[in-house]
Amino acid sequence: MKDYEIRAQKWLSEEFDAETRAEVKRLIAEDPATLEDAFYRNLEFGTGGLRGIMGVGTNRMNRYTVGMATQGLANYILAHKAMVPALKVCISYDSRNHSEEFAHIAADVLSANGIAVCIFDGIRPTPEMSYSIRATGAVAGIMITASHNPKEYNGYKVSWTDGGQVVAPVDKEIVEEVAKITDPSMVKFKADGPAGKITVIGAEIDEKYLADLMTLRLSPEACERHSDLGIVYTPLHGCGVRLIPEILRRCGFKNIIHVPEQDVSDGNFPTVVSPNPEESSALKMAMDKADETGADLVMASDPDADRVGIAVRDPEGKMVLMNGNQTAAMLTYYTLTRWKELGRLDGTKYVVKTIVTSELLTDICKGFGVPVYNVLTGFKFIAKVIKEKEAEGGEFICGGEESYGFNVGQFVRDKDSQATCMMIAECAAWAADQGLTMYGLMEKIYKEFGYRKEGLVSLVRKGVSGAREIQQIMKDMRANPPSELCGSKVTKVIDYLEPEKTGQPSSNVLQFLDEAGDIVSVRPSGTEPKIKFYFGAKGDDADTKIAKLKEQFVS
C-alpha cells in the first residue's frame, strides 16, 4: 500500500465518527485521485496557522485536524505559562461553512487542557478578535476563517498577546508543538479533569471596539457637512455586516445603501464566484446598486472583514475600481495631511508598508518627512513593527499592503476593514470639502508624487505537481534572473532567502529592480496554491510597461 492509502485506512478506525468513516470508504471505492490528495500529507500548520479545503483526510480542514492544531497550541501555551499574561484564549469565526463548529471544537480542546476561553456569541471579524486579546488580557487568539478563498476552504489563524499574528520565534515554536501531534488520539477533545472556563463574549467587546475606533477620526466636521454622501456597502456574505454599517452611521453618514442579497451571512457565497474584493466580479452587484441609486462610493469587505475593496466615480460619472495600492496611497496621503494640519507629526510617528506594496507610499511619506518601514508580505510583520516601536515610544499612523489590507491607529494589530471603511468614507467627505472626488484626489496625488502603475498575476498550480512546479519556477529565476525590465537594465536583485543581506526574516521572495524605478517581485503564496508576480512601473508610460512586464514574466 502507498503511504496515503495507509493513512486513509487509519481513518476507518472507531476513533473517527461514522460520517467520516463512511466518506473515507467512499473515496477508497470511487475516487482514488481525491483520496490521494486528501491523505498524501498532513495539512501543514504554517507560521500563519492552517488553511485548506474542508473534508475528510489528513490534508483537509476537519474537526480532527482542527483538534490536533489546537492541542499543539495548548501544549505550547502550557509549556510557557510562566511567561504569558493569563491562561486565556479568545476565539472568533466567520460565516464560512463549519466555521462555528471548528471554533467550538477549538474551545473544547483548550478548555479540556485547563485553558480558559472567551468565544464570541456569533460571527465577528478578524480585527475584532485581534482587539479582544488585549481587551480581555488573553495570551492568544484563534480566528476560524479562510479569508477571501472560495467556499470549499476554511482556515485557522493564530494571534499572540499583542493581537498581532504570531511571528518568530513564537510562530516556529508553535509549529513544532503542532507537528508533535501526529494522531487525533493525542487530542484532549473533552476534559478528564478540571476544565478551563468557557465564557461567551459579544456586545460588550463590540462597544469597546467601536468606541476606540471612533477616537481615530480626523475630520468629523467634514463628515457632518457631507452626511448625505451615497455609500453602497456589501459584506459579501461575511462578518462585516455586523459592524461596518454601524460605524459609518456613528460617523454621521445617513445614506448607507445595502445590497440585501449579500447581507445574508452564507458560507456558500451564493451571489459571487469568489468573495474576494480584489476581483471585480465580487463588486459587480454593489456597483450596479450604486448606478441604480446614484451613490458616490462602493465599499466591499471580505468574509472575515479585514480587507476592503472600493469603487469610485470617474470624471464621466462611471463607477471604476481602485486597487489596493491606490486605496492605501489615498488613505496615507489623507491621514498624513490631517496629522500635519493637526500638528501631530513630531518625529515619533511612522508608516509601515510591505515590500510588494507600491513605492508611491514611500514617496508620499518622504514628502511629509515621515519614516516608512518596509516589511515582508503579511500584516503580521506590520504588527511586529508596531509592537517594537511602541516599546520605544513611537506611534503608528497607518500602514497597508497591496492586497487590500489597511489599518490606522494601534488598537488592532491586523488589517481592519471596520477602521478602513470609516477612514475611506471620511476621506471622501474631506476630499469633497476640497472640491474633489476620490478619483480626483488620486489624480492629485499622482501629479504631486509622480505616476505609478501596479499589476499582479497569480498562477494557480494545485496539488502535488503544482507545488513542484512552483518550486521549479523559483529555482529557475534564482539561476537565471532577468537582465532587463522593459529594456531598462536590472541594477539590483534581492533574494529574501538571504536575511543577512536584506535585514528581513528569511522568505522565499525574489525582487528585480531596474534603472527606471520599475520593480518586479515574485513569491509563492503562503496560504494558497499560487505563485504571485507583482509588477510596479514608474513614469508616464507605466501602463504600457506593466503590459510588457506581464508578457515578459508570465506569457
**Residues with catalytic annotation?**
147
Using CA atoms, how far residue 234 sits from 42, 263, 284, 308, in Å, is: 36, 7, 11, 10
DSSP label at 281? G
**Chain centroid to CA 150: how far?**
15
Please name the amino acid found at residue 183: D
| Contact yes or no for 493/510 (Cβ under 8 A) | yes
Q: Name which of 218, 98, 78, 195 is nearest 139 in CA terms.
A: 78
Using CA atoms, how far residue 91 sits from 141, 194, 374, 522, in Å, is: 6, 20, 30, 34
Instruction: Identify any residues that bridge with 545 across adjacent strands, giving them in sequence order.
Output: none
DSSP label at 234? E
CA distance 431 to 388: 34
Strands (E) across 402-469 are located at: 405-408, 452-460
| Contact yes or no for 354/364 (Cβ under 8 A) | no
| Contact yes or no for 232/299 (Cβ under 8 A) | yes
Q: Are strands 510-514 and 488-495 parallel, antiparallel or unpaired?
A: antiparallel
Please name the amino acid found at residue 466: G
Q: Please tell me the chain's helix, strand, coil percentages from 3-state DSSP, rounded to the nearest 5.
A: 45, 20, 35
Residue 147 grid cell:
479569508
On the 0-12 / 13-18 / 19+ scale of CB atoms within 10 A, 472 is exposed
CA distance 62 to 55: 6
CA distance 34 to 4: 11
Q: Name which of 133, 126, 167 is nearest 148 in CA terms.
A: 126
End-to-end CA gap in the chain: 41
CA distance 33 to 203: 46
| Greatest C-alpha distance within the chain | 72
Please name the amino acid found at residue 323: N
Q: What is the radius of gyration, based on Cα positions, of the chain? A: 23
Q: Is the peptide bond before 169 cis (omega within 30 degrees of 0)?
A: yes
Q: Are strands 153-159 and 140-144 parallel, antiparallel or unpaired?
A: antiparallel
